[in-house]
Amino acid sequence: MIIPVILSGGSGTRLWPLSRKQHPKQLLSLTGKLSLLQDTARRGRMVKNSLPPVVVCNESYRFMVAEQLRASGTEPEAIFLEPEGRNSAPAITAAAIHILAKFPEAVMLVMPSDHVLVNTEKFSEAVERGIEDAGAGRIVLFGIVPDRPETGYGYIRAENAEGGEDCRRVRGFVEKPDLETARGYLESGEYLWNAGIFMFRADAFLEKVKAFEPEMYESCSAAVGKARRDLDFVRLDASSFCASPAKSVDYAVMEKADNLSVVPFDGGWSDIGSWDSLMRAKEADGNGNVLIGDVMAGNVRDSFIYSSGRLLGVVGMKNVVVVETADAVLVADRAHDQEVAGLVQKLQQQGREEVSVMRRVYRPWGSYETVDRGERFQVKRIEVKPGGVLSLQMHHHRAEHWVVVRGTALVTVGDSELLLQEDQSTYIPIGTKHRLVNPGKINLELIEVQTGSYLGEDDIQRFEDLYGRSENKPS
């Protein structure tokens, strides 16, 4: 049996402003109706003899991960929450420790959740070709057959890589090459792109972690041993997990192990690591453009232009990336789109919230969107799912006015409880306990007007919360 392990801890900063720290690229629908996470879960389900997946994700967007999995028909075996990102090796190690204890005979299929794989059937066939080696205790990698001299990927050197699709031994790894070296790799037929997809028995992998990274093994063992259930999630012990060295699985294990095999795969793979790679995954028009949303283009060629809502006009441009969202616009030369990560770093240094959150922010009960803001006031549009319950809370620096636009609201204000219909409103004074519930069968929509000296999301004191969130954290 095979257990998919889905890694969903990345932030995808090179796809800013669509990808944000609390709404990363794996939660976005970039290439179809499904998000990249949902598509990865579907891919795992299609593998022969697969069980429900183990998912490892960042706790800041845990509710979105759980909701997307539910919406796509995936009931995970477990969702592990990382207290902080420690790169891929600790995440995989924690999953392997859990799986070894519960499914000792299973083979793990480790997949990042932010990749595109066009031909799912071919991928399932590739897994079949590697299952014998994985079952025998070898660590199996999936190498992408290159179709161009790519400088943005690491490479796997394989024995007789030109000899077809059979599983074969790994001869070594090389870092991202320069263009001339990449051309040589392509011509030699010996090199495959390192996709970061792996398959192995948990005991075989953990044996290597113990040998190469004993501190990591001990830290992750303690993190899993002290983990606690929190609703649909498993919280890894924070102090133990954060004590682990932060390393990628390539550096920690793969480049040191001597029992590696690789399965060549040619089925339309991309890691969607930049705007240029996303453009390659889309079908261009007759001018070489990928135009998404309300876009009007004139004399534009070989460009990626995306509008999330507003009309976006672009004239007389070539080889550019233009991305519009509600609160930010990116304009870049396609040849420099890797530098977006540096731009995001500067925004982080300035404390700009556009790095972390979208204009529309998702919560376990629904979502809210900032409509307007100014000195001492802020206006939000709030949407609460049927059965959604906001925490019983209080604010120390702001008052709130709520107006119901659609649906029914059950509102607690101090010692009073009100049932509000459309066009009805209520007022919550500063320092008053309050709660909002949607008791109906349709979404509740309301307008919230905040007034006060401080309007930050961290001005919250929770007294009761259905979703187990911290007392004064906005997530």
pLDDT value of position 31: 86
126/104 Cα distance (integer angstroms): 23
Q: H/E element holding 127? A: helix 120-135
Q: H/E element holding 71? A: helix 62-71
Residue with tokens 């794996």: 26
Letter for the amino acid at 456? G
- Average pLDDT (420-441) is 96
151/245 Cα distance (integer angstroms): 28
Give tens-digit pLDDT for 16-46: 999 998 889 999 999 888 999 999 999 999 9
pLDDT value of position 188: 85
119/107 Cα distance (integer angstroms): 22
Give tens-digit pLDDT for 138-162: 999 999 999 898 888 899 998 865 5
pLDDT value of position 405: 97
Tally the C-alpha atoms within 13 A of residue 301's C-alpha that lie toward its C-beta.
3
Q: Tell me: pLDDT of 163 over 70.
A: no
Smallest CA-to-CA distance from 123 within 204, 192, 194, 43 is with 43
Q: For the chain, give the percent of residues with pLDDT over 70.
A: 97
Helix (H, G, I), strand (E, B), or coil: what is residue 298?
strand
DSSP letter for 122, please.
Answer: H
Helix (H, G, I), strand (E, B), or coil: what is residue 410?
strand
Other CB atoms within 10 A of residue 255 CB: 15
Give tens-digit pLDDT for 96-115: 999 999 999 999 999 999 99
pLDDT value of position 167: 84
Burial class (CB in 10 A: 0-12, 13-18, 19+), 337: buried
pLDDT value of position 162: 52
Give tens-digit pLDDT for 212-226: 999 999 999 999 999
pLDDT greater at residue 272 or residue 412:
412
Do 330 and 311 form a contact (C-beta atoms < 8 A)?
no
Q: Tell me: pLDDT of 278 over 70.
A: yes
Do 5 and 92 form a contact (C-beta atoms < 8 A)?
yes
Residue with tokens 């999953």: 95
Q: Tell me: pLDDT of 474 over 90.
A: no
- Average pLDDT (239-243) is 97
Letter for the amino acid at 94? A
pLDDT value of position 164: 53
- Average pLDDT (230-248) is 94
Smallest CA-to-CA distance from 325 within 353, 352, 359 is with 359
Q: Tell me: pLDDT of 12 over 90.
A: no
Give tens-digit pLDDT for 58-101: 988 899 999 999 999 999 999 999 999 899 999 999 999 999 99
Q: Could you tell me where the beta strands, DSSP code E, fall in 180-278? A: 191-201, 228-230, 233-235, 260-265, 269-270
- Average pLDDT (184-208) is 93
- Average pLDDT (342-365) is 91
DSSP letter for 187, please.
Answer: H
Do 193 and 146 form a contact (C-beta atoms < 8 A)?
yes
Tokens (6 digits) for 80: 């592990």
Weakest-pLDDT range from 34-48, 118-132, 173-187: 173-187
Q: Which residues contact 156 (CB under 8 A, 6 or more apart)?
A: 141, 143, 170, 172, 173, 191, 192, 193, 194, 262
- Average pLDDT (417-434) is 96
pLDDT value of position 473: 65
Tokens (6 digits) for 415: 């010692």
pLDDT value of position 38: 97
Letter for the amino acid at 364? P
Instruction: State the first-to-last Cα distance of the chain, in angstroms, to the nearest integer.
Output: 36
pLDDT value of position 177: 86
Burial class (CB in 10 A: 0-12, 13-18, 19+), 61: buried
To the nearest whole number, what is the mean pLDDT of the chain? 93
Other CB atoms within 10 A of residue 164 CB: 8
pLDDT range class, residue 475, cuts 50, 70, 90:
low
87/135 Cα distance (integer angstroms): 26
State how far the alpha carbon of 158 is from the alpha carbons of 135, 142, 166, 182, 190, in Å: 20, 11, 11, 15, 6
241/84 Cα distance (integer angstroms): 8
pLDDT range class, residue 165, cuts 50, 70, 90:
low
Domains plus CATH for the chain?
A: 2-270 (3.90.550.10), 275-343 (no CATH), 360-464 (2.60.120.10)
Q: Could you tell me where the beta strands, DSSP code E, fall in 76-214? A: 78-82, 107-112, 116-117, 139-144, 155-158, 168-174, 191-201
pLDDT value of position 339: 92
455/149 Cα distance (integer angstroms): 51
**Whole-structure pTM value:** 0.88
pLDDT value of position 160: 67
Q: Percentage helix, strand, coil, to 5, in the chain? A: 30, 35, 40
Q: Tell me: pLDDT of 254 over 60.
A: yes
Do 370 and 379 form a contact (C-beta atoms < 8 A)?
yes
CA angle 34, 39, 260 (to 5 degrees): 160
- Average pLDDT (312-322) is 97
pLDDT range class, residue 268, cuts 50, 70, 90:
confident
Tally the C-alpha atoms within 13 A of residue 462's C-alpha that lie toward its C-beta.
18
